[in-house]
């Protein structure tokens, strides 16, 4: 594999570095080798490493240490992984924000533009959030800025 650090390709998923500094796990996300139709990083190896996933969740929650969170939300599909892990760590429920057409219940829909520039809709259950609830949104990619901006809007629409 050209351009990929061979020590990362053969990274032992059952061992952690002796000294773990904040963000040590980021090197597990191998860069995109397939081109512009794919995300720029692949976090799946980070998710396979138990200590990396735990440390990632702890680091993501650091800014929210003193916040009251009632519900965690995540965007279809990769946001489900971090969102569900965060919800489990906090002992809270998880709200799946789905791509349109996948839920068999009454939904609220909101448009967004994905990373490739295509217009799409995301949906959430209309009965998922109670007025006044505080939700934390888990997003797996910074490059999905329009999705990140739209996610709180779809949640706020139910309050």
Q: List domains and CATH numbers for the chain.
A: 23-156 (3.40.50.2020)
- DSSP-assigned letter for residue 135: E
Q: Which residues contact 43 (CB under 8 A, 6 or more apart)?
A: 28, 29, 78, 81, 140
Q: Which residues contact 88 (CB under 8 A, 6 or more apart)?
A: 94
pLDDT for 65-97, tens place per residue?
Answer: 888 888 898 888 888 999 999 999 999 999 998
pLDDT for 119-129, tens place per residue?
Answer: 988 898 988 88
- Record the pTM: 0.75
């Amino acid at each position: 594999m050209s351009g990929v650090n061979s020590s990362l390709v053969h990274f032992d998923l059952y061992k952690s570095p002796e000294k773990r500094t904040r963000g040590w796990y980021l090197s597990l996300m191998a860069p995109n080798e397939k081109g512009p139709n794919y995300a720029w990083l692949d976090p799946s190896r980070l998710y396979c490493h138990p200590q990396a996933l735990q440390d990632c969740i702890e680091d993501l929650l650091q800014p929210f240490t003193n916040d009251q969170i009632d519900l965690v939300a995540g965007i279809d599909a990769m946001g489900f992984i971090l969102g569900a892990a965060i919800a489990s760590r906090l002992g809270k429920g998880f709200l799946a924000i789905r791509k349109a057409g996948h839920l068999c219940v009454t939904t609220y829909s909101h448009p967004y533009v994905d990373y490739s520039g295509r217009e799409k809709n995301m949906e959430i259950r209309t009965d998922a959030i109670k007025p006044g609830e505080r939700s934390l949104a888990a997003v797996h990619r910074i490059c999905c800025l329009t999705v990140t901006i739209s996610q709180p809007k779809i949640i706020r629409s139910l309050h």
